[in-house]
Amino acid sequence: MNEITGIRSAGIDNTFYLIAGEEELLATRTSFRQDAEEFEGNFYRLWSPVTSKLSSMIIKNMKIPLRRTSRVLYLGAASGTTVTHVSDIVSDGVVFAVEFAARPARDLLTAIEPRTNVIPIIADARYPEKYPPFIDRVDFLYQDVAQPDQAAIAVANAEKYLQKGGHIVIAIKARSISITEDPKAIFQREIDTLSSKFKVLETVSLEPLHKDHLAVLCRY
């Protein structure tokens, strides 16, 4: 990486573009120095849109209403790459990170070990009523699960934990729903399901970095 020569806000708390040569690189300000870049006395962790759909959404200028104090329910935490950036962003908030697959969950625990604002929950996102009882309420629901019934999962979790007026950001993966059906038709059906409970504010395709993925922002 070239030397960092400047910085500008990415429009979200603790989230910036680092200017390095001709590139602008998304990053989160962090209190964890490991793998972090220092610039003017602060530390920043680069956040690649290749491995993170949320990073991709921010770079595509979606208005993601995450704040320093947000209380986030994160479904599909996987091995924690994106979760740690959300943890950086909500420096005065909390992330309830739900993952069910044992193997990535092990990596998740390692990644969030020092981050007290991440609460791991090993459970199936399809059955929010069965989560261990850590979550009181959240104002932001982020979801990235590779399951067929993605919109229904978002609705079920929102109904149980999301405050009225809270936001939902969901990365819909068409190929997790059907590998034969036309992605457009799938997206439309999922958006219809979301619309039945939420107000859909914005939809953005994540192509070309994330093939057949659509990001949807809603308000509850």
Question: 138 has which bridge partners?
Answer: 162
Q: How many CA atoms lie within 13 A of 172 on its CB side?
A: 31
Under the binding rule (CB under 8 A), the answer on residue 119 touching other proteins is yes
Under the binding rule (CB under 8 A), the answer on residue 136 touching other proteins is yes
Q: Whole-number minimum distance, CB 167 to other proteins, in Å?
A: 17
Cis peptide before 104 (omega within 30 of 0): no
Q: Whole-number minimum distance, CB 117 to other proteins, in Å?
A: 6
C-alpha closest to that of 84 among 48, 115, 39, 56: 115
Is 147 annotated as a binding-site member?
yes
Binding mask 79-118 for other proteins (x = CB under 8 A): ---------------x-----xxxx-xxx-x--xx-xxxx
Instruction: Give the distance, in angstroms, between the CA of residue 177 and the centroid of all CA atoms in the same chain.
Output: 20
For other proteins (CB under 8 A), the number of binding residues is: 34
What is the SS3 assignment for 160?
A: helix
Under the binding rule (CB under 8 A), the answer on residue 163 touching other proteins is yes
Nearer to other proteins, 27 or 94 (CB): 94
Neighbours of 134 (CB within 10 A): 10
* Of the residues 1, 5, 132, 159, which one makes contact with other proteins according to CB under 8 A: 132
Q: Name the amino acid, one letter, at 14.
A: N
- Annotated binding residues for S-adenosyl-L-methionine, written as ranges, equal 81-82, 99-100, 124-125, 144-147
